[in-house]
Every structure is written in C-alpha cells, then in structure tokens.
Amino acid sequence: SQELEQSPQSLIVQEGKNLTINCTSSKTLYGLYWYKQKYGEGLIFLMMLQKGGEEKSHEKITAKLDEKKQQSSLHITASQPSHAGIYLCGADKNNNAGNMLTFGGGTRLMVKP
Amino acid sequence: NAGVMQNPRHLVRRRGQEARLRCSPMKGHSHVYWYRQLPEEGLKFMVYLQKENIIDESGMPKERFSAEFPKEGPSILRIQQVVRGDSAAYFCASSGGTGKSPLHFGNGTRLTVT
C-alpha cells in the first residue's frame, strides 16, 4: 500500500520566516493534495497538484510536485501566526475515479509572534 | 451554501454501547468518504460510498463497524459494542466524484468511549 512520509514532523518558526514542508511517497503519485487542520476542526483544502512539475500558489503558500521523485513540497513565505496548524499531504490511492486519499502523518507548525 | 455537516460533534459512549455518526455531504455531492484519526496518529481511510452503494471498505475493521449512504438522508457510520480503542475523531468527506477533485471535509465527530 502507498505510504506518505512528511518531514519535518513538527516545526517552530519565528513570524516572518520562510519554511518548507516535504511529502514523499513510496509509490507513483497520481494526484497530490495539501490540507491544513486546526486543532479540533476538520481539514481545509489548500491545493491539488496532478502533473509532474506542476506548481501552484495561493497567497503566501506555494506547492510543487516532483513526480519523478514522488515528492511534493509546500513552501510558506513570510510566515504569520495564522499559518499555524497541522499540514497534511494526501495522495490518490489509485488512478481510478474516486478520491480515496492516503494521508501523511502531518507536520505541526507553530509560528512565534 | 453549507459544507459537509457532521453530527454530533462530540459523542460519549460506555463500553458495549452503539455509536451512530451522521454525515450530510455538500450540496450536489454524491460521494462520501469516512476517515478515522486516532490520537497522535494520522488520518486513516475507512470506507468510500456512493448513494446506496459501498464502493470500497478496505479500511473498515471487519467486525462491529458498518456504513451506509441511503438514497435519502445522511450517511451513517455505525459502531456496535464500542471499546475504548474506538475513541477517535471520525471525519467525513464528500466529493462530486467527477474525475480528480479535492475532498471537502466536515469538522468531525469526536467519540469518547468510557
């Protein structure tokens, strides 16, 4: 079965600093999704990447997919306290219709004011 | 324009009781997915349903757990004879199901078994 490894597991950064979270898959990536979860709440969809080399940005968050390396990265520029939370990457279980996602263990981000 | 609605938000059950968790997908979505998040563990897929059909239940424990998504009404995740190890956050997600599209998650039901 597919496994997703996220690194680092936790991260504390000073407000204003940049940071990168990585997600590495044990198998071919058919689609890669980034979500954010705040304590006690559900997952908020951030971005979806489907093609090798694809890069998407939303506000100060950029995600890239390196299909050959079976890896994706999430980069936050000039971090703010509002960026704090748990970031999860999810990958399609297979290439069929439907979205049974396998998730990584998450990266817990804290941003110090 | 309601998102995925789950209820109850919190559920306390004694060992041996039954737990019923409900999920109403986003308007227009006909695909429902249930996930479980155990304390200090990741999010694990349990079951994928479309209206009146179970498409994939490879993540469901073989005993005591069942799920349904009837033609009318919400999807139900049912846990019979709960044990302490069932204590977790259970999340429901929905999608439109046409091609690759992101899952939209509810806020979860936190089950505590005493």
- Chain A residues in contact with B35 (beta carbon < 8 A): 103
Check B43 against A43: CB less than 8 A apart.
yes
pLDDT digits (tens, 9 = 90+) for B56-76: 999 999 999 999 999 999 999
**Residue closest to B46 by CA, chosen among B86, B15, B9:** B86
- Judged by a CB distance cut-off of 8 A, whether residue B83 touches chain A is no
The answer to whether the CB of B79 falls within 8 A of the CB of B19 is yes
Which residue has 């709960």 as its token pair?
B82
Question: Which of A108-112, B22-26, B68-72, B99-103 is predicted with the least confidence, judged by mean pLDDT?
Answer: B99-103
Task: Find residue A62's DSSP bridge partners.
Answer: A57, A75
Stretch A29-57: mean pLDDT: 89
Q: How far is B23 from chain A (nearest CA, A)?
A: 13
Q: Is the dihedral of CA B27, B30, B31, B33 positive or negative?
A: positive
pLDDT digits (tens, 9 = 90+) for B95-110: 986 667 789 999 999 9
Question: What's the rounded Cα separation, in Å, for the pair B45 and B93?
Answer: 10
Which residues 6+ apart lie within 8 Å of A36 measured at CB?
A43, A44, A46, A85, A86, A87, A88
User: How would residue A3 be classed by pLDDT, with cut points 50, 70 and 90?
Assistant: confident
Report in angstroms the alpha-carbon separations of B24 from B36, B70, B105, B113. 17, 11, 11, 24
Stretch B20-29: mean pLDDT: 95
| Average of per-residue pLDDT values in chain B | 92
- Judged by a CB distance cut-off of 8 A, whether residue B38 touches chain A is no
State the pLDDT at residue A52: 81
User: How would residue B22 be classed by pLDDT, with cut points 50, 70 and 90?
Assistant: very high
Residue B37 has pLDDT above 90, yes or no: yes
